[in-house]
Amino acid sequence: MKKVYLLLFIIVLLLSGCSQLQPYIEKIPFLGESDSNAVERNDPQDATDTTDNNELDQDTQNQEESTDSDIVEEDVLTLESQYFNEVVQVDGKNIIQNPLNVLALVNKEFSLPSDYAPKDLVRPNVPFSFGDMGVEKSFVRKEAAGALERLFALAKKDGIELFAVSGYRSFERQAMLYDAEVKKSGEEAAQQVVAIPGNSEHQSGLAMDISSRSVGLALTEEFGETVEGKWLAANAHKFGYVLRYPKGKESITGYQYEPWHFRYIGVEAAQIIYEKGMTLEEYFSIVKKI
Q: Quick one: DSSP state of residue 170?
A: -
Are β-strands 258-264 and 241-245 bridged in parallel, bridged antiparallel, or unpaired?
A: antiparallel
Q: Quick one: DSSP state of residue 260?
A: E
Positive or negative: CA dihedral 263, 267, 272, 274: positive
| Sheet with 207-211, side-by-side order of all strands | 163-166, 207-211, 258-264, 241-245
- What are the distances in angstroms from CA 131 to CA 12, 13, 35, 113? 122, 121, 99, 31
- Contact call for residues 252 and 278 (beta carbons, < 8 A): no
Q: Is 258 a catalytic residue?
A: yes
* The Cα angle at residue 284 between residues 280 and 288, in degrees rounded to 5: 150
3-class DSSP assignment, residue 17 = coil
Can you tell me the distance from the alpha carbon of 206 to that of 242, in angstroms, rounded to the nearest whole number?
11
- What are the distances in angstroms from CA 76 to CA 102, 283, 288? 22, 12, 7
Can you tell me the distance from the alpha carbon of 32 to that of 81, in angstroms, rounded to the nearest whole number?
84
If one counts every other C-beta atom within 10 angstroms of the C-beta of residue 178, the result is: 21
Can you tell me the distance from the alpha carbon of 120 to that of 98, in angstroms, rounded to the nearest whole number?
15
**Catalytic, out of 172, 221, 228, 258:** 258
Please identify every residue annotated as catalytic.
258
